[in-house]
Structure formats: C-alpha cells, structure tokens
Amino acid sequence: MHITQHASILPVPSGPLQVSRLPQGVAGLTSEGSSLVAPVRLSLIVPTYNEGGNIEKIVSLLSHLLDQTIPGDYELIVVDDDSPDKTWELAQNLTSQHPRLRVMRRQHERGLSTAVIRGWQAARGEILGVIDGDLQHPPEILLKLLEEIERGADLAVASRHVEGGGVSDWSAVRRFLSRGAQLLGLIMLPRVVSRVSDPMSGYFMVRRSAIAGCLLNPLGYKILIEVLGRGNIDQIAEVGYVFQEREAGESKVTWKHYTDYLHHLLRLRLSSGRIGRLRQRLRFPIGRFLRFGVVGASGLVVDMGILYLLYDRLGLGLTRSAILAAELAIINNFIWNDRWTFKDLAAKQRGWRRRIKRLMKFNIICLMGLILKVLLLNLLFNGLHLNAYLANFLAIAAVTLWNFWINLKLSWRVTEVK
Ligand code: GDD
Ligand code: MN
C-alpha cells in the first residue's frame, strides 16, 4: 500500500504522554513504499511556536554540527504547534536539503512540554534531547551533553548556573522570576528540584530507557522537572552554557506559564514523595477528594442560606426549614459533583435517566450520611464529652469521607454494560 505521506512529515501521537520502551522503528512511508527505519542514537526535539525567523538557521546549524559528529545516526524533529507564521511549513521545506529532519505539526494540542513529549514518542533515538528553536541555546553544547550520556549519565542538563554557565543581559526582573521559580520548586519539591542547578532549563538529553513507560503529565514550560519527577533518573551530569539573546521573534513566556508552573509543582508533589506513596498505597484520589470537599463547602453555604431564608425570614418551622435546606444543599452538591468532581465518570454515563439514577443514589447516601453525622455528633459530644463544635467538625469530616468514598464507588462508578 503506498501512502504518499512523506517520511519527513510525522503523524502526531495521541493518547497518554508515554514514551515507548524501544525506539520505534518508524515506517518511513516514501514513494518507494514503506521501509521500517532503524533506531538512531540521538533524537533531538526542537519545539517551535512562531520561530519562522529562526528555523532555517537552527536547522542548518544543528544538521551541520551533528553531520560532523554522528553522521546518519541522529534525527531532528521540529514539533510545531501550528504556528501562525507557518514555522511548520518552513521546516517542511527544509527537509529536502536536510534528510535527517522530520516535522510534526500539532493542531489539536498546544504547549511546550507536551510538544517535546509527543516528539519523543515519535522519535527513534536511544537518547532523547530537546533544544529551544530560537538559537538561545548554543548548539555546540549538544556535543558535551551527548558525551556525558555516553559516559553513563541518565540525564545531561545544560545549566546556566554551573561553571561556564550564565545568561546574557537578562533584566533584574527576569533573573528574579527565574530564581524565584527555582526557589519555589526547592520548597515544594526539594527531592526533585534540588537534583540539578538549573531546573528551569529546557536544554537537556535523557536516556530513553530512563523515561520509557513513565506516564508523564506536565503542564506549561518546564519539561525538565517532569522528567526528574517521574523518570527513573539515577546519574545526572550538568554542562555549563550561556543563555543567548534572541536574534528573531520573542519569548512566549506569559504569566500563565508561571501559574502553570505552580500547578505543575503541586501535581508532582501530590504524585511523589510521602503523599505520592500514600496515594499509591491507598489509591486515594486526593485531587478528586479536594474537589468533593470544595463542593461540600458550597453545600454548606446553600444549606445555611436556605435555612436563614425559610426559618428566619419566612418563619417556617425549624425542622421543616432544616430538612428543605439540607435537601437543596444535596441537590446543589450533586450538580457540582456531577459536572466537576466526577465529570469524567459522568461523561461515560450520559442521558437524563442515568443522571436521575445517580442523583437518587447520591441523595440516599447523603441522607444516610446525615444520620451517621447525628449519631457521631452525639457519640463525640455526650460520650467523649468533646466540645460541641469540635464534635460537629469531626463528624462532618468523617461523613465527608464516607459520602465521597461511597459515592465514588456506587453513584458514579461506571458499570460497563457489555
Ligand atoms: N511547540 C511549541 N508549543 N513550542 C513552544 C511553545 C508551544 O506552546 N511555546 C514556546 N515554544 C518554543 C519556542 O518556539 C522556543 O523554541 C522554545 O519553545 C522556548 O520558548 P521561549 O518562549 O523562547 O522560552 P524562553 O526564551 O523564555 O526560555 C525559557 O524557557 C525555555 C523553555 O523551558 C528558559 O527557561 C529556557 O532555558 C528554556 O529552555
Ligand atoms: Mn527563548
């Protein structure tokens, strides 16, 4: 079967962000028919977004350098996120004069970190690398990184903060933000971020076997902390480099990248260290539980508000007001849990019938929770003579856990109908 797709244009991988164990022999579908292309030593990803002014120069510099050192044993993969300046098209036009160049144009996913991983997923190299596409990373450092990997390092990082490293004339604000981000990383993820001097670097090589099979889940710009946080990295080498000034285009860093970075650190924190091991052991979905707790808090507000309205303003009896308020709070909680906390599970069981069924189950479980809460409250207050509010708080906490776990396992569990 002949597909006219040229071998240099790469299909975009989808699904989990997981690099396969063995270099994928990629079926290079050319006009001469398909031929499985053997693995190579190095696959270097060049993530680009609006690098039209740099792409030709970076590709020829990298090709020239690698043709001299590892001729025929490398590939360059430009992963472009459908740049408005058509960087992907400019790169494709370069493939005729640079046979080791392949291009991936992503149209349904965006982001630097995932671009790099999708590139690695399509890569055939035993060593996977990444370099910025804007000439701010001096290409010649690649040779030192490669040397370190060949000498046994699992990860070789180009660092601005070791001997021979530095930045060109960065503003004080830029320096402060970069160092501030690093400090935050050291506080939130000491065991990960402290392993390298420049965790913000986006210029490094990693042995494929050190990250193969690991389910990566990065956010934003900092792919290196994802590799450090989820990879099996033992030996790390660092090579000093001076971060250059851009010749064309501009940095894509926005404030959102800083909030993404924070979110990324938190996500890694929750999946590593003691919390991560506890989560693994308990298989306890902490993130989902936190969302359930936020919804529960909103239910508290609804409950109190309705009680005030019915009992205080409309003069309805206390018991009837409390029951109506509790029921409306339960419906509030169901709506938010169905649309947010358990959204992925609800999406697998669409339709009003199933939603009403979930609401009925949720209601019964919450009402049982209410009875449990009153019993616990009395046990703690009358039995253990705890302060009433402390007893109430502990009872609410215990019932929240009950409500979450039973609803997760009963109301939203997807019973596959074969
Ligand atoms: N595919 C893709 N998608 N590429 C992107 C995206 C994106 O959403 N955003 C940026 N890039 C590419 C840029 O085209 C460039 O080649 C490279 O990623 C770095 O982006 P810059 O916007 O130039 O980053 P910087 O100059 O602020 O550099 C900082 O971040 C880099 C990436 O982590 C520094 O910390 C560098 O050391 C670091 O490599
Ligand atoms: Mn840059």
Q: What is the pLDDT of residues 340-372, one digit of tens each?
A: 999 988 888 888 988 999 999 999 999 888 888
Q: At what angle do helices 388-406 and 286-307 cross, to 10 degrees?
A: 120
In the reported structure, the alpha carbon of residue 139 is separated from the centroid of ligand 2 by a whole-number distance in angstroms of: 14
Tell me: pLDDT of 29 over 50.
Answer: no
In the reported structure, the alpha carbon of residue 277 is separated from the centroid of ligand 2 by a whole-number distance in angstroms of: 36
Q: Give me the pLDDT at residue 274, please.
A: 62
Under the banding of pLDDT at 50, 70 and 90, the label for residue 6 is: low
With a CB cutoff of 8 Å and minimum separation 6, the contacts of 107 are 12, 82
How far is residue 377's CA from residue 332's CA, in Å, rounded to a whole number?
24
Ligand 1 near 221 CB (within 6 A): yes
Under the banding of pLDDT at 50, 70 and 90, the label for residue 283 is: low
Tell me: pLDDT of 235 over 60.
Answer: yes
Give per-residue pLDDT as tens, 145-164.
999 999 999 999 999 988 88
Tell me: pLDDT of 1 over 60.
Answer: no
What is the position in ligand 1's atom list of the atom closest to the CA of 200? 35
Beta bridge partners of 127: 42, 207
Q: Give me the pLDDT at residue 266, please.
A: 84
Mean confidence (pLDDT) of the chain = 87
In the reported structure, the alpha carbon of residue 111 is separated from the centroid of ligand 1 by a whole-number distance in angstroms of: 9
Element (H, E) at 18: strand 17-18
Domain 9-280 classification at class level? alpha beta
Under the banding of pLDDT at 50, 70 and 90, the label for residue 25 is: low
In the reported structure, the alpha carbon of residue 394 is separated from the centroid of ligand 1 by a whole-number distance in angstroms of: 48
User: Which residue, judged by its Cα, is nearest atom 16 of ligand 1?
Assistant: 133
Under the banding of pLDDT at 50, 70 and 90, the label for residue 310 is: very high
Tell me: pLDDT of 34 over 50.
Answer: no
What is the position in ligand 1's atom list of the atom closest to the CA of 87? 14
**Which is higher by pLDDT, 181 or 238?**
238
Under the banding of pLDDT at 50, 70 and 90, the label for residue 2 is: very low
Range of weakest confidence among 92-101, 125-134, 140-149, 250-259: 250-259
Q: Is the pTM of this model over 0.85?
A: no
Phi, psi (5° rounding) for residue 36? -75, 125
Tell me: pLDDT of 171 over 70.
Answer: yes
Tell me: pLDDT of 239 over 70.
Answer: yes
Ligand 1 near 136 CB (within 6 A): yes
Under the banding of pLDDT at 50, 70 and 90, the label for residue 280 is: low
Ion ligand 2: residues, Cβ under 5 Å: 134, 136, 251
**Which is higher by pLDDT, 406 or 232?**
232
**Average pLDDT over every residue of 180-186:** 83
Q: Give me the pLDDT at residue 319, please.
A: 81
**Which is higher by pLDDT, 337 or 22?**
337
How far is residue 321's CA from residue 307's CA, in Å, rounded to a whole number?
6
**Average pLDDT over every residue of 171-198:** 84
Ligand 1 near 148 CB (within 6 A): no
Look at phi and psi of residue 261 and say left if phi exceeds 0, alpha if psi is from -120 to 50, else beta: alpha
Question: Can you give the residue ranges of every domain in the chain?
Answer: 9-280, 284-411
How far is residue 5's CA from residue 318's CA, in Å, rounded to a whole number?
73
Tell me: pLDDT of 20 over 70.
Answer: yes
Q: Give me the pLDDT at residue 95, please.
A: 95
- 8 A C-beta contact, residue 114 and residue 81: no
Ligand 1 near 51 CB (within 6 A): yes
